[in-house]
Amino acid sequence: MGRKGQDGYDDRRKSHVAKKPTRKYNDQSTPHVRGYKESFQFKTSVGVYMWDFEQCDAKKCTGRKLERLGYLKAIRVNVPFHGLVLSPFGTKAVSIEDLDVIKQYGTSAIDCSWARIDEIPLGKLKNGVHRLLPFLVAANPVNYGKPSKLTCAEAIAATLYIVGLKEDALTILKPFKWGCQFISLNYELLEGYSKCKSGAEVIEFQNAYMERIEQAKEQEKVIDVGMRRIWDVAAPYG
């Protein structure tokens, strides 16, 4: 029996019993992501995260490159996350309405291969505020010029730009030679989206832009047909 102290409890030494270490979470830069013992200093004014399903070529993956260079933090699927998530679960387009959520909790993207997206366990990614990106064109070498085929870096940069964090968007694209081209290629769209006050307005702007593009294409077809007819008439006299 151990000797009892003044408070009536056994005060015998228990130095042989290992104390359970105090669980440490991230510092103030990532208060909303649990499960990490080390702090992480972001290069952007807000937290940037990624779920990596290791489907892409590590040498070409923009998400992996951003992680290696310290621009974002990879998180596990089972880690609670309360920030903005770019995913198919979204029912609204990202907009300035989401700025407060991103400032407080950060933003994240799902890094996967477009060819294997059906293999992603999306049901496990229901944490956070899910949003969709509006129409944008890829500038990366693999899918250049293709609509919506954005890399992880492009998707994150677009999100930051649309909510008004334009400097952060440029920071995310800085490690890539084609980074600035993504902004220039989508400048009219990104600027338009960033001026919208809600996700609904973003979709309205997108649809108006698409309609204008379709009309321009139709006009080009009419002009092309007209020029061919003129050529057909003029050719015999040429």
Q: Cα Rg for the chain, rounded, in angstroms?
A: 26
Side-chain-side CA neighbours of 135 within 13 Å: the count stands at: 15
List, for residues 32-89, the tens digit of each pLDDT value. 444 343 467 889 999 999 876 665 556 678 988 999 999 999 887 777 889 999 887 7
Question: Strand 129-131 vs strand 84-86: parallel, antiparallel, or unpaired?
Answer: parallel
Domain membership flag for residue 23: no
CB-based contacts of 147: which residues, under 8 Å, 6+ apart?
A: 135, 136, 137, 138
Domain membership flag for residue 1: no
Domain membership flag for residue 178: yes
Annotated binding-site residue numbers: 62, 110, 133
pTM of the model: 0.74
Domain membership flag for residue 59: yes
Q: Answer yes or no: are the C-beta atoms of 33 and 79 closer than 8 Å.
A: yes
| For residue 235, pLDDT beyond 80 | no
In terms of pLDDT, which residue wins out, 74 or 206?
206
Q: What is the mean pLDDT of the chain?
A: 78
| CA 97/CA 51 separation, integer angstroms | 23
Domain membership flag for residue 11: no
Where in the sequence is the domain holding 166, given as residue range(s)?
Answer: 48-237
How many domains does the chain contain in total?
A: 1
Domain membership flag for residue 113: yes
Residue 101 CB neighbour total at 10 angstroms: 18
Domain membership flag for residue 5: no
Helix (H, G, I), strand (E, B) or coil at 34: coil
Domain membership flag for residue 219: yes
Annotated binding-site residue numbers for S-adenosyl-L-methionine: 62, 110, 133
- Buried-exposed string 38-60: b where 16+ CB fall within 10 A, e elsewhere: eebebebebbbbbbbbeebeeee
